[in-house]
A and B are shown apart, each in its own frame.
Chain A
Amino acid sequence: MTAYTIHKKHYSRILLLKIDNEIQSVVFSMYSNNNARNEHFNGEILITDLNGVFLNGYRITNGNVISQFMKGNFKSPSSLNKSFSNNCEIHSDDDSNCILNIQSLNEIVIPPKSGGITYLTLADLYGDHGGGSSSTCEVNCNSWNYGGAGDYSPVETDPCDEIKSQTTNPDYKAKIEILKGKTGLKMETGFSEKADGTFSELQNGSGGTNSNSMSFTIDSNTVGYMHTHVDPYESGRYNSDGEPELLAPIKMFSPADVGRFLELLVNAQTNNISIAEVYGTMISSSGTYNLRFDGNITDVRTDFNWKELKSSYVKAIEDYGLEKGFLKFIKENVGVNGISLYKIKTNGAIENKTLDLNSKLTTIPCQ
């Protein structure tokens, strides 16, 4: 069964086996070296107990077990992000998801066998209870095939689960907290995120004169963005009666924000990134919202002329309010099914905002 761990990039499952009338359980996590959905898995496998204590680990190349990790001195949590040279050569030493950075391990190369080792024995998974061992058992023994990289990226994932996992990720949380402190500025602030969990700050005011825009670069690894929509602010100019001009930005995803989200989806599809991981986040003093996609990826288009839709958007928000106005705009002017809006409340609760058949705003709390 699927397991959710603090390591967002891992594909984790709980494996259950009845041995001598006792249910044995382990958490089996796979962390791919790349996002490609190949027939064969490339990456690391971590086997822990339900508390995350290391039991066993392997490096897999083209589906074959090439080395085994043995427990060394366990790292304290505060040193998780420390660089350990020669530890995580593939995912880099500062990748907090890399199994070699999570636990201090020694790597032992397993001699190649004809045909390769494409399975793990029950002894590998459950220790001595499983019967057989990786060194002696080659045929007709109790073993389990972990599958290819195609199994690595679950396609049908509940966005609620993805957002829950995201909002408990310490790196994401830290960035959200930074942005929550910046909604009182006169300019938007934001970050983009790559599939490996690293963030880059978006540059504001780049390019032409008098532009308030932030430039968002999507490369083959980009999975999401988060940015602020700021509070009402004074422009610094005064009207004919000497009153300050007051700007009141709309505290909801704009058409351009939706455009960038759709571009991320197409980019993910092109680069074999899990669609379930793609997100857009908007942080304002009225609420934090998340865009997710749970439709058919082949329905996604990016050829909208957003500037021509801007006026309809502004009036939809004026007539129906932030949430309903946004959803009606998406339904009537964008028409891509599956663009889903989630609100993340200050207490951490997550709500899906949707329109029912009568276009009534409906709130569905995530379980």
Chain B
Amino acid sequence: MSIIKNNKMKKIIIIGFIIITNLSCNAQQIIPIEKIIDYRRTETGLPEGLIYLKDVNNLLDKYVGIWKGTYDTKKYEFRITKFTETRERVKEDILLIRYIITEANGTEIENTTMLPDNNYLVVRGDYIDRSSYLLTYIGKKGNCGQSGTIFISTSIKSNYNQMLLSLEPEQMLISAKDCPNGGAAQIIPKSQITLTKQ
């Protein structure tokens, strides 16, 4: 009787050990999104294994909503949502920006508000650098330089009701054949635009 009990105990211990080992192998490492910039600077990427780049400290929530502003007679509306992107071994909390740009007379220049999350025209978040959040922007003429990094920031000073947004165009080697007129004009302003939360 005691031999049978001992064998049972052994089996339970072994199975328990296997479960714990499996759990630890598949364990997901959580890294706060504000640390992404540190890994980016090392130029060697994130640590091995499963990673969740998580908005542990809710740094992105203050941006979520609809922001409106005017620049150079054009009207801008940015719709910001929070999204968890899943890649091969990395999950990441990011912001997505969709936008409507209209001329003063109401003519629509661009409207990406109806596009699905994975469409290339939807602006995707990258990382936080100090109080700025940086996102990758690509326009319809993205092969001719209509692309770059969008910076957004908002502060307690405005009670998070005002946001600054600007574009730093991408430096790229464009094909003279595909872009006979050189780099395409930007539709997102390079100069800073002040937006108000709706």
Q: What is the interface of chain A, defined by CB distance below 8 A to chain B?
A: 187-188, 190, 202, 205-218, 225, 227, 229-230, 235, 237, 239-241, 243, 245-249, 251, 254, 256-257, 259-260, 263, 286, 305-308, 310-311, 314-315, 317-322, 324-325
Contacts and interface: CB of A to CB of B under 8 A. Distances in A.
B147 A307 contact: yes
Contacts of B136: 310-311, 314
A170 B163 CA distance: 52
B198 interface: no
Contacts of B88: 319
Nearest to B154: A240
B44 A213 contact: no
Contact of B168 (A213, A235, A256, A314): A235
A307 B174 contact: no
22 contacts: A190-B173, A208-B184, A209-B185, A209-B186, A210-B167, A210-B185, A213-B173, A213-B179, A215-B183, A216-B173, A216-B176, A218-B175, A241-B153, A256-B174, A308-B120, A310-B120, A310-B136, A310-B147, A311-B124, A315-B90, A318-B40, A321-B45
B129 interface: yes
B184 A211 contact: yes
Given A213-B169, A240-B154, 7 more contacts: A207-B182, A210-B185, A215-B174, A235-B168, A240-B162, A241-B155, A243-B130
Contacts of A214: 171-174
B166 interface: yes
B138 A310 contact: yes
B174 A318 contact: no
Interface of B: 36, 39-46, 51, 85, 87-90, 92, 120, 124, 126-127, 129-132, 136, 138-139, 142-145, 147-149, 151, 153-155, 157-158, 162-164, 166-177, 179, 181-186, 190-192
Contacts of A318: 36, 39-40, 45-46, 126-127
A321 B169 CA distance: 23
A240 B147 contact: no
A206 B182 contact: yes
A212 B124 CA distance: 21
**Most central of A211, A311, A321 by chain B CB within 10 Å:** A211
Given A205-B183, A208-B183, A311-B136, A216 B175 contact: yes
Nearest to A186: B171
Contacts of B142: 306-307, 310
Contact of B184 (A207, A263, A320): A207
Dominant SS at the A interface? mixed
A239 B171 contact: no
Contacts of A188: 171, 173
Dominant SS at the B interface? mixed
Contact of A321 (B43, B90, B130, B179): B43
A241 B130 contact: yes
B166 to A, nearest CB: 5
Contacts of A235: 151, 166, 168
Contact of B182 (A211, A239, A243): A211
Contact of B175 (A205, A237, A248, A259): A259
Contacts of B89: 319
A310 B191 CA distance: 23
A257 B173 contact: yes
**Most central of A214, A239, A248 by chain B CB within 10 Å:** A239
A321 B131 CA distance: 24
B166 A237 contact: yes
B45 A319 contact: yes
Nearest to B118: A311
Contact of B173 (A208, A211, A256, A305): A256
Contacts of B167: 210
B69 to A, nearest CB: 14
A225 B172 CA distance: 13
A312 to B, nearest CB: 9
Contacts of B171: 187-188, 212-214, 229-230, 249
Given A211-B183, A321-B42, A322-B43, A246 B129 contact: yes
